[in-house]
Amino acid sequence: MNEEKEIAKGKERSQELQTEAVEPEAAFVPLVDVIEKQDGVEILADMPGVSRENVEASLEEGVLTISGKVSPPTMQGMSLQSGEYETGSFYRSFAVGEGLDTEGIEASMKDGVLRLRIPKSEKYKPKQIEIR
């Protein structure tokens, strides 16, 4: 059983600097859905303001890390009347079990949502046993 090893804790975005991340600015924790499927795992992460070019997903020694950069909007000469959110980088990492086929990861980015699909390794897929 894999214990969750989230470096980035907290349901709400936190502005705490991640100790592992060498980011000069604060990093936000994206909200995610993690869905376990018969043949793999799907991860959806809300990263508003992150374009396809500025998102990264990497897998190293069983730790999946997703990160994205948001460039703050340019508002020349304008003053902020009301601010409810801040822009910055997104960062979150997960421990990934050995039952997943890390070679087969597929990633896509649309409307600020990162979607990752990680297939299960062949030997961990549920198998139908034929009874003769």
Partner 1 sequence: MVIWDRNRGFGYDPFDELRRLSRQMNRLFGSPLSAGIGETFPPLNIWSDNEKAVVTAEVPGIKKEDLDISVENDVLTIKGHREPKQIEDGESFRRHERGYGSFRRAVGLPFSVEPGQVKAEYKDGVLRLELPRHEASKPRRIDVK
Contacts to partner 1 by CB under 8 A: 1-4, 11, 31-38, 41, 44, 46-51, 73, 75, 77-85, 94-95, 97-100, 110-113, 120, 124-127
Q: Toward partner 1, which CB reaches closer, 21 or 30?
A: 30
Q: To the nearest whole angstrom, how small is the minimum distance from the Cβ of residue 70 to partner 1?
A: 8
Q: To the nearest whole angstrom, how small is the minimum distance from the Cβ of residue 75 to partner 1?
A: 5
Rounded-to-integer distance, Cα 99 and Cα 88, Å: 33
Amino acid residing at 124: Y
Cβ neighbours, 10 Å, residue 88:
19
Q: To the nearest whole angstrom, how small is the minimum distance from the Cβ of residue 124 to partner 1?
A: 5
Q: Toward partner 1, which CB reaches closer, 23 or 99?
A: 99
Amino acid residing at 77: G
Q: Toward partner 1, which CB reaches closer, 22 or 88?
A: 88
At a CB cut-off of 8 Å and minimum separation 6, what does 41 contact? 34, 35, 100, 117, 118, 120
Q: Toward partner 1, which CB reaches closer, 22 or 83?
A: 83
Measured in whole angstroms, how far is the alpha carbon of residue 100 from the centre of its chain? 16
Q: To the nearest whole angstrom, how small is the minimum distance from the Cβ of residue 94 to partner 1?
A: 6
Contact (CB, 8 A) for 100 and 119 = yes
